[in-house]
Amino acid sequence: MDDTLILGIETSCDETAAAVLRGGRRLLSHVVSSQTETHAVFGGVVPEIASREHCLRLGPVVREALTQAGVGFGDLSAVAVTYGPGLVGSLLVGVSGAKAMAFAAGKPLVAVNHLEAHIYANFLEHPDLEFPLLALLVSGGHTHLILLSGHLRYRVLGRTRDDAAGEAFDKVARALGLGYPGGPLLEQAARDGDPAAFAFPRAALEPGSWDFSFSGLKSAVLNSLNRARLKGEDLKVADVAASFQQAVVDILARKTVAALEATGVRTLALGGGVAANQALRRRLRAETEARGVAFVYPAPVYCTDNGAMVAMCGHWRYLASSFADWRLNAVPGLILHDFYKENRKM
């Protein structure tokens, strides 16, 4: 019986989070301290403030996670922590704290890539997902299509060449005066709008590419808003939001469907903060149902940054004896490494 006990720590941006996972299946605790209100007055995350807040919150959050789980440091199998990508100051707080905790408790340290953690959020509610599977990762800083042939075995099929989908959501929401965080507020505004009101562009890139591009779409929206303001015209915010959201969903769905059909994979997993977007979920559900492809996604609470997804990924890295040493450092520009390029003989 797998009775591993993993503490997962997440501080890559503005959420201080910790969770305890038993056996890769039972989540014993899940604690998130959000800084949304702190950064809302600035219209976005201020890195220096975020790192200071992590310093104040990390200890109490970890203690609460252990208390809820009814365990102590001595009971843990390992401490897993996000070491990139993300804001360097925020990452350093989590990495330094996790190293100190693991060293003091005499436990292994597991380094987790934030991108793979978002993929593994799906295993929190679907622990028996079968491989191969295609993962669409959509967040504020990243948009990736990733093929998984097994646990920790990734092949990156496509990625954004410029703005990530979530970043475009936030910038358009700011231009529309919707506030922060922009993604959920733009989605809310779009519910009352006409998605066909504006013919915003969908970047296709070269034939056969599964990469994404959202900078042209973002610029088209901003240009439309600027032209309207110069002419003294009032554009309906809900229509702009709905048309923009529809364009993003179209781009994501078309590339994902193309990758599914080309690879023949029968399971699609969605992950990242934008995975909570209901319009995206509805479109992907319709596309996968039409093709007999299984479609899974995390509950909204596991779409945003959290310690549970770090613990789940940490569980599988622990089983693979993938441990970090005490020289582990934050890597703000960390990428998701292609397993097959690094293991050519396998």
DSSP output for 122-166? GGGT-TTPPSSEEEEEE-SS-EEEEEEEETTEEEEEEEBSSS-HH
Residue 344's pLDDT is what? Answer: 45
Contact predicate 139/109, CB 8 Å: no
Residue 346's pLDDT is what? Answer: 33
The structural domains of the chain, ordered by start, are 5-121+302-335 (3.30.420.40), 130-297 (3.30.420.40)
Q: Give 3-state DSSP helix, strand, coil % of the chain, rounded to 5.
A: 45, 20, 35
Q: Is 337's pLDDT higher than 80?
A: no
For residues 166 and 248, what is the distance between their CA atoms, to the nearest angstrom? 10
Burial readout 150-168 (b: 16 or more C-beta within 10 A, e: otherwise): ebbebbbbbbbeebbbbbb
Put residue 139 in one of left, alpha, beta given phi > 0 → left and psi -120 to 50 → alpha: beta
264-295 per-position pLDDT tens digit: 999 999 999 899 999 999 999 999 999 999 99
For residues 54 and 96, what is the distance between their CA atoms, to the nearest angstrom? 11
Tokens 């509950």 correspond to what residue? 299
Lowest mean pLDDT among 179-183, 241-245, 323-327: 179-183
Which pTM was predicted? Answer: 0.92
Taken in order 136, 142, 144, 146, is the CA torsion positive or negative? negative
Residue 341's pLDDT is what? Answer: 56
Q: Is 310's pLDDT higher than 80?
A: yes
Give the pLDDT mean for 108-129.
Answer: 96
For residues 58 and 45, what is the distance between their CA atoms, to the nearest angstrom? 18
Q: Is 97's pLDDT higher than 70?
A: yes
Residue 342's pLDDT is what? Answer: 53
Residue 340's pLDDT is what? Answer: 54
Q: Is 141's pLDDT higher than 70?
A: yes
235: tokens are 């554009």
Which of 295, 303, 299, 248 lies closest to 271 in space, CA to CA?
Answer: 303
Q: Is 343's pLDDT higher than 60?
A: no
